[in-house]
Amino acid sequence: MKKRIMAAALVSLCGVLGLSFATPSLAQKKDETIAGIEKYREMLGDDNPAELYEMRGEAAWKKPAGPNNVSLEKCDLGLGAGIVKGAYAQTPRYFEDAGRVMDIESRIAWCMMTVQGISEADMRKRPFGSADKPSLMEDLVTYVVTASKGFKIAPPNTHPQEKAAFELGQSIFHVRAGPYDFSCATCHGQDGKRIRLQELPNLTKAADNQRAYIGWPAYRVSTSQVHSMQWRINDCFRQQRLPEPKYMSESVNALITYMAVMATGAEYKGPALKR
């Protein structure tokens, strides 16, 4: 219902813009459509309900929980125990204690298990929530990533395992599979493509990775909730018609590593507002 209203608003916005030009060339028309979408984003832009997740996430971060009844404040997100500010911008990274490359969600989950004593089964129960019942992870991750607003994206990419994760992610990006023989690159390997009104970033290029990466996780108006990067990849596996990937699996983390490294140098903007 709400989805339909949003779509109608978009169509009417573009309609008005289209009409104001007598005989637009195809290229002009396309630019106008994109400008219309951007105007719409700008109107939605300023106040982002992701802030509600951030507030809940901060409270959850600081509240003692789990069998050990301690908060996550001792969690080491890569910059030292207890440091949240700027930590997300330097992930994914190799963590000595875990012996593998972790994205931010994997690391938060690691802390829930090692610091709070929560079992892996419990931690994995409900990574992706709904508008009516956001998941604890969505709250926590929104809090943690928002603390990197204004920081430059800078995953280290120096440890051999970090480099291996980048390589793996890059190769998975190009592997064609599934009933339609799609790879990520089928949809995200060319400039200026769209599916309906959704622009498809060309994720083989640094500039497009930067634009995409600085707005994830994101609040989606059509689903009224924050979605994490793990969810984004999970949903693109679905669009690729692949079996659902395991949450925080090596391949999903590798894809996130690939995109983060490609986005290096961009300033993180915090959760964006998406259609």
Partner 1 sequence: MADPMKIRAQIKGDVAEIRVLMSHPMETGQRKDSDGKIIPAHYIQTVTVALNGKNVVSGQTGGSVSRNPVFGFKVKGAKAGDKVAVTWKDNKGDSRTDEASIA
Q: Which of 7, 13, 55, 197: binder of partner 1 (CB under 8 A)?
A: 55
Nearest CB to partner 1, comparing residues 28 and 130: 130
Encode burial over 148-171: b for 16+ CB neighbours within 10 A, e otherwise.
bbeeebbbbbeeeebbebbebbbe
CB of 43 to partner 1, least distance (A): 11
Site track 191-230 with ligand HEC (rule: CB under 6 A), x = hit? ----x--x-xx-x--------x------------------
Distance spanning both ends of the chain, measured CA to CA: 14
The answer to whether the beta carbons of residues 131 and 230 sit under 8 Å apart is: no
Nearest CB to ligand HEC, comparing residues 136 and 212: 212
Q: Any contact of residue 128 with ligand HEC (CB under 6 A)?
A: no
| Binding residues among 16-45 for ligand HEC as defined by CB under 6 A | none
Q: Any contact of residue 133 with partner 1 (CB under 8 A)?
A: no
Q: Provide φ and ψ at 251, rounded to 5°.
A: -70, -40
Q: Any contact of residue 41 with partner 1 (CB under 8 A)?
A: no
Nearest to 162 by CA among 103, 76, 107, 212: 103
| Binding residues among 235-264 for ligand HEC as defined by CB under 6 A | 236-237, 239-240, 255, 259
Say if strands 218-220 and 225-227 run parallel, antiparallel, or are unpaired.
Answer: antiparallel
- Active-site residue flag, 184: no
Q: Any contact of residue 151 with ligand HEC (CB under 6 A)?
A: no
- Pairwise CA distance, residues 27 & 198, whole Å: 17
Q: Any contact of residue 60 with partner 1 (CB under 8 A)?
A: no
What is the DSSP annotation of 142-156? HHHHHTTTTPBP---
Q: How large is the greatest C-alpha to C-alpha distance in the chain, in angstroms?
A: 68
- Pairwise CA distance, residues 65 & 36, whole Å: 46
Annotated catalytic residue, options 75, 184, 187, 236:
236
Stretch that binds partner 1, among 11-19, 33-41, 52-60, 119-127 (CB under 8 A): 52-60
Question: Which amino acids are annotated catalytic?
Answer: 236
Question: Can you give the binding site for partner 1, defined by CB under 8 A?
Answer: 1-2, 46-47, 49, 51-52, 55-56, 131-132, 221, 224
